[in-house]
């Protein structure tokens, strides 16, 4: 029987990029390409189209942060990345306008160290959207 032991590899730079982005979503702007694609967690059969471009992606991310009233936290459990792809598993938590928590899986595609595509995947995107909707004050 032959056993192979691998020496632990250094942390890939794209892993560090994702760790930075999940610690502070505003910092994604520093890592995305100008023509980045974002496949939203709330995409539907009726509207499956990704957001295209840095401005559209940043508007989407700022809208999410604003809707959560500064309470959004992404508890990262696992990150793996190489030169081409990255995956992040964790739990997205908000306390405003309603408290909610949902598991997520973010998938990422890189080119030359830049994020060029991202797929948001929330375990229960409709419940998250409902929690981000302010209560009706009528």
Structural domains of the chain, ranges and CATH numbers in brackets: 26-132 (3.10.450.50)
Taking the C-alpha atoms of residue 120 and residue 128, their distance in angstroms, rounded to an integer, is 13
What is the predicted pLDDT for the residue at 10? 83
Taking the C-alpha atoms of residue 50 and residue 15, their distance in angstroms, rounded to an integer, is 24
**Adjacent-strand bridge partners of 39:** 119
Contact between 52 and 35 (Cβ < 8 Å): yes
What is the predicted pLDDT for the residue at 2? 63
Contact between 127 and 102 (Cβ < 8 Å): yes
What is the predicted pLDDT for the residue at 21? 97
Q: What pTM was computed for the model?
A: 0.88
CA distances to 29, 72, 84 from 128, in Å: 24, 11, 29
Six token digits for residue 2: 């032959």
Question: Which residue intervals of 27-124 are DSSP H helices?
Answer: 54-67
Task: List, run by run, the mean pLDDT of 10-residue segments along the chain (138 residues).
Answer: 65 96 96 98 91 97 94 96 98 95 98 98 93 79
What is the predicted pLDDT for the residue at 62? 96
**Adjacent-strand bridge partners of 111:** 114
Taking the C-alpha atoms of residue 122 and residue 39, their distance in angstroms, rounded to an integer, is 12
């Amino acid at each position: 029987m032959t056993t192979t032991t691998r020496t632990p590899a250094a942390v890939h730079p794209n892993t560090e990029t994702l760790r930075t982005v999940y610690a502070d979503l505003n910092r994604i702007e520093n890592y995305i390409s100008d023509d980045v694609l974002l496949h939203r967690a709330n995409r539907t059969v009726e509207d499956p189209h990704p957001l295209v471009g840095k401005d559209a992606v940043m508007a989407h991310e700022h809208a999410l942060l604003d809707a959560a009233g500064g309470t959004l936290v992404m508890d990262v459990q696992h990150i793996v990345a190489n030169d081409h792809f990255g995956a992040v598993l964790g739990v997205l938590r908000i306390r405003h306008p309603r408290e909610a928590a949902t598991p997520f899986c973010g998938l990422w595609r890189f080119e030359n160290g830049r994020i060029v595509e991202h797929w948001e995947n929330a375990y229960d995107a409709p419940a998250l959207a409902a929690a981000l909707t302010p209560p009706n004050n009528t």
